[in-house]
Structure 1
Amino acid sequence: TPALATLAPGESASYQLLIHNQSGVVLNGWLGIAGLPGGWVTLSERLLELMPEQEMLVIAGVQVPAGSGAQAGERRWQLTLTPELDARPQPIAELGLRISPVSDFTIQLHPNQLSRRGTIDLHIRNLGNTPASFAISARDSAARLTFTLPANEVAVDGGQTEIVPVHIEAGQPPWLGGTLNFPFTVRVAGPAGKVLSQNGQLDQPPRLPYWIFAILGALLIGLCGLVGLLYNGYSQRQAAAAATTQAIEDEAGLSATLTRAFEQSQPTPAIVPSLTPFPTLTSEPEVILPQVAPSITMFFVEESVAARVGARPPVP
C-alpha cells in the first residue's frame, strides 16, 4: 500500500505489499512486474517461499525517470508470481501509478542569418511528457520584413521535435549604398505561459555594391591605357611611313639632280654630216647621145656631188 501513487517525472515511491498464503499448499516461485518498464521497479524480494497461512512483506520501489520519457497519465501494473512447476506468470496484486504532466520546451533557429531573402527552420522541442500547443510569432523593429508561416500554432507530442519553416523576405533593395541590416525576433509561447524567443538577422545588400564601381574604374583605366597604346603605335607607324615616303622622294630628287648635272658636264658631240655614197655604175647598154649631151650630163652630176658636200657647183 498505497495501491495508487501519483508521481511526476523524476520522483519515486515505495509500495509495501503483504503477501498471505491462503492455500493449503506451499507457494514456491519468482516474483516479477508487469505493466511498467523493468527499469522503473525494484523488488526487495525475488524468491517467494510461503507455507500455508504464512505471510511475507515485499517492498516495490518505483522510480519515474526524469524528462519526457514518462508520458503523463494513469497506468495499471501488477506484481506477478511465476511458480516453479508452471512457467506462466500469474498476477497476485493489482497496483496503479499516475504520472503528473510536466511542460517544458526549447527553440532554435537554423540558420539565424540570411542574405536578401530565405527560409529559416524553427526547431521546437517539447521537453514535457504530454502533447502541447505552441503559438509562433515573428517581427522586426523596422517593420521592413515579411514573415510567412505555414501556421501560427503547432502541436507537438511530448518528447518530440517539430520543425517549422519560416520564410523571410525584405522589400526592394536600394540601388546604391551599403548593406542594410534588419534584426528580427521569433517568439514561441508554450504551455503554462512560458515564452521563448530567438533573434536573427537579414542582410540586404544594394543592387549595385561599391565594388562594382571599383571594377568598372579599373576596366575603364585599362581600356584607356589600351587605346593609348594603340594610338601611339598607329602614330609611330604613320610617322615611319611619312619618313619613308619623304626619304624616297628626297632620294628620287637627288638622283634626278645628279643625272642632270652629269649630263650637263658631258661635252656636246659634233654633228658629222652624212655622205650619200655615189651610185655605182653598172654596165648598161651604150646610148649614143648628141655631142652636147656629155657636157649637160656632167653638169648635173657635178652639181649633185657639190650639193652633197656643201660647195657651190662651177659655172658652166
Structure 2
Amino acid sequence: MDNSIQPQKANIRVVIKEKELSVAPEGKVEFHIGAINSGTMEDIVKFSVKGIPTKWVSFDEPELRVEAGKAKQVILQIQPPPFPDGRVGKYKLEIQGTSRNAPRVLATIRCTVNIAAYAPEGHVGVLIGAIDFPVTPGSSVSIPLLLENRGISADSFRFNISGIPRSWVSTTSSVIQLAAGESKEMIFTINLPRSSAANAGRTPFKIQVSSEEMPSQKTEIDCILTVSAFSKFSGILRPEQLRTNQPAQLLISNEGNTIDTYNLSFQDLSGKLLFEKITRYAKEGSDLNNPEIGFAYSEITSAQRLRVSPGESGVFEYRSRLRSRSFVGDAEIYYFNIKAVSAEKKSLDFSSQIKEKGFFPPWLLVLLLITFMALCLILFIPKKRAEESINTTQTAVYHQSQAVIVGKEDMGELLDGQEKRNCSLPFIPDTDADKFVDGSDIDPCDPNNPSITATTIAEIPTDTPPPTLTLTPVSPIASLVSPTASLTPPKPVEPNLKGLIVFESNRDGNAEIYVMNAFDQTVTRLTNNAAVDIQPVLAPNALEIAYVTNQDGNNEIYLTGVDRRTPMNLTNNLADDQYPAWSPDGNWVAFTSNRDGNFEIYVMRSDGSELRNISNHPEADTEPAWFSSDSSGSQDWIVFASNRDGNQEIYKVKPDGSGLTNLTNNLANDYSPAGYNKGNLLAFVSDRDGNPEVYVMGTDGSAQRNLTNNPYQDIEPTFKANEGWIAFSTNRDGNLEIYFIQDNGMGVFNMSRNPIRQDRHPDWR
C-alpha cells in the first residue's frame, strides 16, 4: 500500500492505497491517502495535487489533524466535467503533503487517473470521453480518441467506423503509428447532413481500432449518435386547374428526418364548392397480386390528416364540384386553397381552381325563346280565324238550343204545340210565306190574311203552358279510394352514405376482417388466414387498419390496410391485447392489455413504440375509444369501460392519465363507448332498460338517452364523424348484422344484409 517518497527523515509519512483508477467524464473517482505521525507532537498536514486541473480536485479534509503516534485517512475526489470539457487521457498525478510543524514538502506520492467513458483492456488501448453523441442535422460533432500502444514493439493502428454512412466521417488519417508504450490523440468528425437521410432518434454505430502487426488484436466501442428532429416539407398539386368531379392529388414530400403528420384544410374562396376525399380499395374477388381498384368518396367537412415517413412522399386524393350547378350560364372559374400544416406548425398554401359552366349556354336560351315566339305567331293567326267561325256557329246552336228548350224549334213566335194544332210547320217560322211569322199570322196556313191584332189574339184559345224543363241532378262521381281502405306506408329510402366501414364476419367460415363501401354496400375481404381476426378499427386516413388476431397463439394488435398490405404485429407480447382505438391524429393507438396482471388501458405509437399504462388501477379497464371535445380538435380524451365502482361505468381520461371522470354514474352496466373528432356526442351500450341498447350522451355525461329502443340486442356503436349517423351490431333479424341509425334515433337500416352469418364490430370513416 505504501507508495511514498521520503526525501529526508520526518515524523510525518504519507501513503496512498490506489495506484491507478479510471473515470468517465462527469463521473467521480476517489483515492484514499493516509498520513502517519510517528513523532511526539500533534501535527497538521495540508495536501495539494499537481498534473490535473484544480477544478476537478477536492479533499474531504484539506487539512488533516494527526495526533502523535496516530494515523489518519483523507479522501481525494476527482470529478472531470462532461465531455468534451472533460478531455480523455492518462493524467499523471503528484500528491504532496506539507507539515505545519515543519513547513516543507514531506512526500510526493504519484498515481494515475484515466479519464475515459470507455477504456478496454488488451494490446490496443483506446480511451474515449463519451459513447453518446448528440448532434443536430446540418452540424457536426468532433470526437477525440486517445490511442495507446500497449505492446512491446512499435505498431500501426487502423481506425474505422461502421453503422453510419462513411461519407459523414472525416479524419486526418485512418492509420496512426505508435512506438511501444506511446499514446497519441486523434480526432474524427461526424458531419451530419440536414436531410431525411439523418433519421431522428438514436442511431448505434461502432468505432473499430485494430493492430496492423497483430490483426487479431482489435478493439470495438459501441456508441450512439442521437440526432435531433427537424421538419421540412414541400408539395405540389396535380393538376392545378380542374373540371368538376375530376380526380386530383396533393403530393406532400417529407424532407425532414422524422415521421410527420400534416393537417390539410380546404378553403373555398367562392362559397360554392364541395370537396370529397377519394379512398382506393381492392374490390372483392379480384386478384391479390393485381387487384381491381374501386373508389369510395366521402365529403370533406373538417381538416384531413396525411402521415408521411421521412424521405418519402404522401398522396392525398380528392375531387371538387359545385354544390349547385347553374341551369344556364357561361363558363366561370371558382378558386380554392389547400393549406398544409406540419406538426411543428410550418405551413404551405396551394392554390387551385375549377372551371365550370351551366347546363345550357345563354345563347341557347335566347334561341329557344325566339323559336317559341315564332311558333306562337304561326299557330295563333289560323287559330284566330277558326275561333271566329266557331263562335258564329256556337251562337246559332245556342239560340236553337234555347228554342228547343222552350218549344220553339223554328225561331218563330208560336210554340211547337200551337204550330201543330193550326197546320203551321214547327221547323219553318213563316209557314204560308206571307211575310208574317206564324205567331203574328191569323191563319199561318193562308198567305192572304193579315197579322194578328189585339182582338184576334184574345179570341185565340189559351194553350196549355209548355212543360217546364227540369234538369235531373247527376250523382257525383264515386271516390276512387274507399274511405275505409288503409294505405301501406312507403318503404323508407336509404340515404346516400359515404366512407368506408370495416367489420368482422364469419361469412367465409371463420372470423375475418372485411371492408364495405357505404355508398353501394360492396364488401371486400381484407384478411385470409385460419386464425381469428376481430375488432378492426380504421385509421383517420381511412387507409390503415388495426385489429386483433390470435395467429401467434395469443391475442395481439396487428396493423394492415384497405390495400391488404402485409400485416405487422404492433404489441409483440405474451399477454392478452385487445380493443385497439386510433387517436384523432392517427399517431397513437390505445388498447386493452392484462400484461400487468389485470386489464388496463395502454397507449402506444402507431408503430408500437412508446408504450405506457394510463389507467393504473387494480380493477378491469377495457374498450378504449378516442375523441376530441373542442371545435379545434386539440383536446384529446380517451373513454373506456371500468368496473372500479362495482359495476361497469363509462369513464373519460386524458392521454397523459389526468382528468379521470365517471360519465355515466348508473347502477346498470354501461360499456362499449364510442366518440369522434370534434364531436359533441358519445355513444355507449347500457342494459339499464333490461336489454343491451345503444345510448348517446354529451361528452360531459349529460343528456343520456336511449337511441335504439328495441327489445333485441343492440351493441358496439361507432360514429360516422360529423355526419349524424351511427353504425352498430344487432340481432334483431335473428343473427348479428351491421345496422346504421341517425343520432336522433330515426332512419334505421340494415347495412350488411347477411342473414346466415355474424357481422359485428363496425368502425366507420
Map of 1:119 onto structure 2: 247
Percent identity over the alignment is 22
Paired residues of 1:11 and 1:64 also in contact (CA < 8 A)? yes
The correspondence for 2:261, drawn from 118, 122, 133, is 133
SS in 2 for 1:39: helix
Is 1:145 aligned with 2:273? yes
Between the aligned partners of 2:194 and 2:216, the Cα distance in structure 1 is 33
Question: Structure 2 CA distance, aligned partners of 1:192 and 1:27?
Answer: 52
Task: Call closer, same or farther: CA 1:135–1:121 in 2, change over 3 Å.
Answer: same
Residue in structure 2 matching 1:155, options 307, 310, 327: 307
**How far apart are the structure 2 equivalents of 1:86 and 1:212?**
96
Structure 1 match to 2:316: 164
Distance in 1, Cα, partners of 2:363 & 2:248 = 29
Residue identity in the other structure for 1:18? L
Structure 1 residues 165-193: Cα deviation after superposition (integer angstroms, max 9, x where no partner): 01112234323222232111111121112
Match of 1:84 in 2: 212
SS in 2 for 1:193: coil
Question: Contact (CA 8 Å) 1:78, 1:91: kept in 2 or not?
Answer: no
2:142 pairs with one of 5, 14, 34? 14
Superposed CA offset, 1:23-53 (max 9, x none) = 3454334221122210011122222322332
Question: Closer, same or farther in 2 for the Cα pair 1:86/1:165, shift >3 Å?
Answer: farther
1-structure distance, mates of 2:219, 2:319: 57
Question: Displacement, 1:203?
Answer: 1.2
Tell me if the contact between 2:265 and 2:340 (Cα under 8 Å) persists in the aligned partners: yes
Over 3 Å counting, the alpha-carbon distance change for 1:115 and 1:76 in structure 2 is: closer
Match of 1:173 among 303, 322, 325: 325
1:196-225 deviation digits (Å, cap 9, x = unpaired): 2211111111222257689x89xx9xxxxx
Whether 2:329 is the aligned partner of 1:201: answer no
The more displaced of 42-51 and 12-21 is: 42-51
Match of 1:107 in 2: 235
Aligned: 1:57 with 2:171: no
Q: Secondary structure at the match of 2:167?
A: helix
Amino acid at match of 1:153: R
Separation of aligned partners in 1, 2:198 and 2:209: 26
Equivalences for residues 158-307 of structure 1 within 5 A: 158-210=310-362
Q: Residue 199 of structure 1 aligns to which amino acid in structure 2?
A: S
* One-letter identity of the residue aligned with 1:171: R
The answer to whether structure 1 residue 75 and structure 2 residue 203 are counterparts is yes
Q: How far 1:55 moved relative to its partner?
A: 0.4
- Counterpart code for 2:319: H
Amino acid at match of 2:323: G
The Cα RMSD (Å) is: 2.7
The answer to whether the 8 Å contact 1:131/1:156 transfers is: yes
Change (3 A) 1:66 1:89: farther
Alpha-carbon distance in 1 for matches of 2:201, 2:352: 38
1:39 corresponding residue in structure 2: 167
Distance 1:42 1:145 in 2: 56
Q: 1:116, 1:205 within 8 Å by CA — same for their partners in 2?
A: no
Unaligned runs of at least 5 residues, structure 2 = 1-128, 280-299, 372-765
1 or 2, which has the higher helix percentage?
1
Number of equivalences: 217
Structure number with the bigger relative contact order (C-alpha 8 A, sep ≥ 6) is: 1
Which amino acid is 2:207 matched to?
Answer: L
Q: Which amino acid in 1 is paired with 2:313? A: T
Distance 2:339 2:359 in 1: 31
Cα shift readout 1:115-169 (whole Å, capped 9, x = no counterpart): 2321211011111100011111213133321111248212111121101101112
Larger radius of gyration: 1
Structure 1 residues not aligned, in runs of 5+: 221-316
Helix, strand or coil for the counterpart of 2:246? Answer: strand
Per-residue CA shift, 1:232-262, capped at 9, x if unaligned?
xxxxxxxxxxxxxxxxxxxxxxxxxxxxxxx
